[in-house]
Amino acid sequence: MFITGTQFEAIEEYLDKECEVQTLKFLLWREIWDNKDKLIYGMVKEILSPKVTIEKLEN
């Protein structure tokens, strides 16, 4: 197993326990195993303001 030094970020929306949409920024890493590249590690980097949605970030 080889974990690349390449990190990338993703922004996704999830429902919290009160069923409210939360926008989260993730930090992700990739793994190369048997010449196949796949995502294996990720962690929440930042919890964005509840008023921030993916649509607002895209504009």
* Residue extents of the structural domains in the chain: 2-58
Beta bridge partner(s), residue 46: 25
Neighbour order of strands in the sheet with 2-15: 2-15, 21-33, 36-47
CA distance 19 to 13: 12
CA distance 10 to 44: 10
The pLDDT confidence band at residue 58, using thresholds 50, 70 and 90, is low
Q: Half-sphere exposure of 37 toward its Cβ, with a 13 Å CA cutoff? A: 5
Condensed to tens digits (0 to 9), the pLDDT of residues 5-57 reads 667 788 888 888 888 888 889 888 777 777 777 766 788 888 887 666 666 66
Q: Is the pLDDT of residue 2 over 60?
A: no
